[in-house]
Amino acid sequence: MQPDARFRFENFVVGSANRLAVAAARAVAESPGAAYNPLFIYSASGLGKTHLAGAIGNHARQLQPTLQVEYVTLDDFMEQLHAAISIGQTATFTQRYQHVDILLLDDVQFLTGRRETQTEMLRLFNALAGTGRQIVMTSDRPPNEIADVDERLVTRLAGGLIVDIGAPDYETRVAILRNKCDERGVALRPNVLEELAKTEYGNVRELQGALNRIIAQQQLGGPVRTDQVRVVLGEPAPAWRAPTPAKERGGEYMSFLSDVASVVAQNVEGWRMRLSEAVAYWNGEGYRTQVLERALHMPKAPDIEGLLGMYTAAVERLRALEQEVNAIDPALGASEVFRDPERVRDAEDVVRRAEAGEVPPPGPSSAFTRAGFEVSPSNQLAVKAADAVAADPGGKYNPLFVHGPSGVGKTHLANAIGNEIVEASGGAIGVSFVSAGEFIDELIAALQDGTLERWRARYRAAGALIIDDIQFMAGKERTQEELFHIFNALHGAGKQIVLTSDREPKDLDGLEERLRSRFEGGLVVGISSPDRALREKLYARYLSLVEPPPEDGLLEYLSDRPASSVREIIGTVNRLVAAADVAGVSLNVDLARKELEGVGSAPAPAPVNARAMDAFFLDDEKVVWDWPDVAGRAIEEWR
Amino acid sequence: MSLVNYATREITCKIVYYGPGRSGKTTNLHYIYGQVPEDRKGKMVSLATQTDRTLFFDFLPLDLGQISGFTTKFQLYTVPGQVYYQTTRKLVLQGADGVVFVGDSQARQLQENIESMQDLHANLAEQGIDARQIPLVIQYNKQDLPSDLILGVPDLEDALNFWGAPHFAADALHGHGVFETLRGISELVLRKLSAGAGAR
């Protein structure tokens, strides 16, 4: 809807109570989107909010006829939104408003409690503000007093300039009355208007109503005299009702403020405003904006359109690249280069390399460190071999094949080797760590997408390759074939390969002979179940984390018990801690014995969780508590 | 300190009231403070001696709120007028965006006015600032005193304002001319917003 053409700046009477608002409105009309965005005008009813909003629209169109100006009351806005939702066309609705250059939104105080409208408006605001379009809002109260509105929306409403319009002072009232008389071609006796204006009407509409009565009286009974004004109006008009008259708030200060505002508006440079808005917007979107910030500090305006255009184009390009790379490897999409429009080339490079398969698969987990791996006779051979490999990757034992039962630390050790290699080479050697299961899944996915070449290339690009749980490849012929080629390529290039398995190569059924012989060609080392020394170390470590500290003797007791794996040890500690918690005592040998050997205690009955029960069963009257015994039941049936 | 920061959307104006001792600089600030609406009032800091002379300086922060989307703050300072507080004056003058020279209209104070003006020039020059470049307005205070005690504005203009800075006659005690002066200096300072201010 277009604003009412009658609402113009020329017929808006400016007084001290609305000077600031008018100055701001003019600035907005003259450079929409640049000076104050959004502009928020509030005042009591009938003081000219709608007039000002309309004047902005009309004046702006007068200056730039191509501008698209839209005036809408919040009520209409909501109605349109609901209509759009009901036919499933919300996107069209938003789009329609996104192309508006100046959006004039009247009576936004009705936002209270309209969650849906608020959400939609927030979205629209972001879109409009991000593209430098102007929003003007009117309300009967300031943004922070509109109840039940999303905090984010409130901050946006208040983010530009908030101005209020006070009730008109005497001079303004006279000027308004004169204007109205001129508009209607009515002539009154001298001083009648002045007498009328002496009554301090709280708003312009009441003032106009009073004038209408005078005019009507004049048409009926001839010219009204000054002394008749009071009589015609009946009772003395209601006392001043403006919330706080400008005078009480320090008229000089307010007029100083409005002067400052207009000087600032005149002198703030539109291009810097646009730039700073763009900076804020793109920062919010997570993009780096140094290039814009540098321009912001230039002494003279650069080619803003060109600069912003280039920046936006770069962001678009980055988004496209990010999408491409996400399709290949989501981990790469998180890279910083996709957030910096100055590094489009780098981003392109990343994508190109990812497409060419030059980016190796992800590395080992940094959670598993060599320092955190406890050494004992049961695993010292494997650890020594691992250290040798880490010191000289691809040199000494290639491949290194680590086998042992589940839970003895093979994965930990393999990761630790990877981390050591990365660290020792200062990151120069890219170590890839993959479980056999993932390896198989990736291969299947690559076969499906027809990206087999890229997949192969990625593995060949690895500086070192660690494959966990190789036993899962047993019987998978295609996987073994691919691994065979990758193995040869890496091995031939002198790159380290580490494999782990739950059994020795010779016991791996369903493994092709050519792979087996290659696996055995390096060093095969085993890790056995934790021996007493290792158990003691591990128990000591995990028990040291327990609060309060456990009783002496517990460590001895536990270490003496056999454990098949590190995982079992961790599990035992957790179980004891839980039991001690339930019993409300600190960890001790008795408790451990009871818990682990079942000595001296029947299994505790499962606690009855009354709360979880259906409320029905909590009603004593409805529950049969004492079932009749067999004899009783027989008698019952016999009857 | 830069006047405007477009990145953080802030305008910070430092305005220093300069002039000889007892010319009414602090009175200016007090009057302004009295006019600020309660909800906008910051704290006026006045470090005064027991005899009510400004010992160190007065500082009145004025938070003007959001203007054109900028958080706008004015900082009004006064310097101690007495000759022996030279160091403080230099310190306060540092980074000023604009200066209000408050002159004492009393005829017998003419020499003090002239000396203070020279002192201002010297201190600005020491900071590498040409007094003709920095926004400056002159206030002729105490114009309400009996006319046989004071000099008229034209005489004062002849004596002090030899490069035609904007000037205001004032009676700071009763507030006449106080806001006019503040408005005058603000306008001069804020005009600099567009003169490549972001580069500073």
Residue B53 backbone phi and psi in degrees, to 5: -90, 150
**Residue A234: pLDDT band by 50, 70, 90 thresholds?**
low
Beta pairing class for B10-18 and B4-5: antiparallel
Mean pLDDT, all residues of chain A = 80
CA distance B186 to chain A (A): 7
> Which DSSP state fits A47?
S
Q: Residue A237: its pLDDT value, please?
A: 38
Tell me if chain A has a CB within 8 Å of the CB of B172.
no
What DSSP designation does A318 have? H
In this structure, how many other beta carbons lie within 10 angstroms of the beta carbon of residue A510?
Answer: 11
Domains: count for chain B: 1
Number of other CB atoms surrounding residue A71 within 10 Å: 23
Among the partner residues A158, A250, A273, nearest to B37 by beta-carbon distance = A250
**What is the span of the domain harbouring residue B189?**
3-199
Among the partner residues B6, B69, B179, nearest to A161 by beta-carbon distance:
B69
Q: Smallest CA–CA separation between A162 and chain B, in Å?
A: 7
Of A252, A255, A268, the CB nearest to B193: A268
DSSP one-letter code for A238: P
Consecutive H or E run containing A43 = strand A39-43
Q: Select the residue from B68, B100, B168, B187 to test the A interface by mutation, using most A Cβ atoms within 10 A.
A: B68
Give residue-wise pLDDT tens across range B135-185: 999 999 999 999 889 999 999 999 999 888 999 999 999 999 999 999 999
- How far does A264 lie from chain B, in Å, by closest CA? 6
Element (H, E) at A523: strand A523-526
Averaged pLDDT, A291-320: 85
- With CB atoms and an 8 Å threshold, state whether B32 touches A253: yes
CA distance A254 to chain B (A): 8
A177 touches chain B (CB under 8 A): no
**Alpha helix ranges (H) inside A164-203:** 170-184, 192-198
For residue A279, the chain B residues in CB contact (below 8 A) are 7
DSSP label at residue A262: H
Residues 6+ apart with CB under 8 A from A222: none
The per-residue pLDDT for A632 is 61
Q: Do A298 and B198 touch (CB under 8 A)?
A: yes
Give CA–CA dist A204/B14, Å, rounded: 40
Tell if the CB–CB gap between B6 and A252 is shorter than 8 Å.
no
The model's pLDDT over A542-554, given as tens digits with 9 standing for 90+, comes to: 888 777 777 778 8
Q: B69 CB near a chain A CB, below 8 Å?
A: yes
> For A512-531, how does the pLDDT look when each residue is reduced to its tens digit (9 = 90+)?
888 888 888 888 888 888 88
* pLDDT exceeds cutoff 50 at A131: yes
Angle of helix A251-267 relative to helix B178-191, nearest 10 degrees, comes to: 10
Listing DSSP states for A443-456 in one string gives HHHHHHHT-HHHHH
Query: How far is the C-alpha of A395 from the C-alpha of A424, rounded, in Å?
Result: 14
Using a CB–CB cutoff of 8 Å, tell me whether B118 touches chain A.
Answer: no
Residue A491 in this model has a pLDDT that exceeds 60 = yes
Given an 8 Å threshold on Cβ–Cβ distance, is B186 in contact with A259?
yes
User: Rounded to an integer, what distance in angstroms lies between the CA atom of residue A259 and that of residue B186?
Assistant: 9
* A566 confidence band (pLDDT: 50, 70, 90): confident
Q: Quickly state the pLDDT bin for B15 (edges 50, 70, 90).
A: very high
Q: How many helices (H) and strands (E) does chain A have?
A: 27, 10
Instruction: Specify the pLDDT at position B8.
Output: 79
Q: B191: nearest CA in chain A?
A: A267
Tell me, yes or no, if B32 comes closer than 8 A to chain A by beta carbon.
Answer: yes
A41 touches chain B (CB under 8 A): no
CATH number of the domain that B75 lies in?
A: 3.40.50.300
Question: Model confidence at A600, in pLDDT bands (50, 70, 90)?
Answer: very low
DSSP symbol at A339: G
Residue of A156, A256, A281, A296 for testing the chain B interface, max B β-carbons within 10 Å: A256
pLDDT-above-70 percentage for chain B: 88
Give B119 to chain A, closest Cα distance, Å: 30
**Three-class DSSP category at A499:** strand
B111 and A CB contact within 8 Å: no
For residue A437, what pLDDT is reported?
A: 86
Q: State yes or no: pLDDT of B114 exceeds 90.
A: yes
| DSSP at A470 | G
A182: number of Cβ within 10 Å: 11
**Residues B103, B166: Cα–Cα separation, whole Å:** 13
Range 420-479 of A in CB contact (< 8 A) with B: none
**Considering only residues 243 to 302 of chain A, which have any Cβ-Cβ distance to chain B shorter than 8 Å?**
249-250, 252-257, 259-261, 263-265, 267-269, 272-273, 275-276, 279, 293, 296-300
Alpha carbon A180 to chain centroid distance?
A: 53
Q: Which of A167-171, B55-59, B122-126 has the lowest mean pLDDT?
A: B55-59
Three-state SS string across chain B, please? Answer: CCCEECCCCEEEEEEEEECCCCCCHHHHHHHHHHHCCHHHCCCCEEEECCCCCEEEEEEEEEEEEEECCEEEEEEEEECCCCHHHHHHHHHHHCCCCEEEEEEECEHHHHHHHHHHHHHHHHHHHHCCCCCCCCCEEEEEECCCCCCCCECCHHHHHHHHCCCCCCEEECECCCCECHHHHHHHHHHHHHHHHHCCHHHC
Contacts of B192 in chain A (CB under 8 A): 267
Give the pLDDT of residue A180: 83
Please say if the pLDDT value at position A314 is more than 80.
Answer: yes
Are residues B6 and A161, on separate chains, in Cβ contact within 8 Å? no
Half-sphere exposure of A123 (CA within 13 A, CB side): 13
Q: How far apart are CA A299 and CA A306, in angstroms?
A: 17
Of B6, B32, B36, the CB nearest to A276: B6
pLDDT of residue B53: 57
Distance (Å, rounded) from C-alpha A340 to C-alpha A288? 5
Q: By the CB < 8 Å criterion, does A80 face chain B?
A: no
Are B7 and A279 an interchain contact pair (Cβ–Cβ within 8 Å)? yes
pLDDT attached to residue A241: 35
Look at the pTM and tell me if it is higher than 0.80.
no
Q: What percent of chain A has pLDDT over 90?
A: 4
d(C-alpha A274, C-alpha A271), whole Å: 5
A383, A384, A390, A393: CA torsion to nearest 10: -120
CB of A42 within 8 A of CB of A49?
A: yes
Note whether A35 contacts B: Cβ–Cβ < 8 A. yes
Q: What is the helix (H) or strand (E) element at residue A138, kind and residue range? A: strand A134-139
Provide the CA A353 distance to its chain's centre, in angstroms.
Answer: 30
Tell me whether residues A272 and B6 touch, CB distance under 8 A: yes
Q: Can you tell me the distance from the alpha carbon of A101 to that of A57, in angstroms, rounded to the nearest whole number?
A: 10
Q: Does A28 touch chain B (CB under 8 A)?
A: no
* pLDDT at residue A608 tops 60: no
Hey, is the C-beta of B33 within 8 angstroms of any chain A C-beta?
no
Which residues partner with B13 through β-bridges? B74
The C-alpha atoms of residue A500 and residue B155 are separated, in whole angstroms, by 100
pLDDT at A355 over 80: no
**Is A162 within 8 Å of chain B by CB?**
yes
A chain contacts of residue B67, beta-carbon cutoff 8 Å: 161, 257, 260-261, 264-265
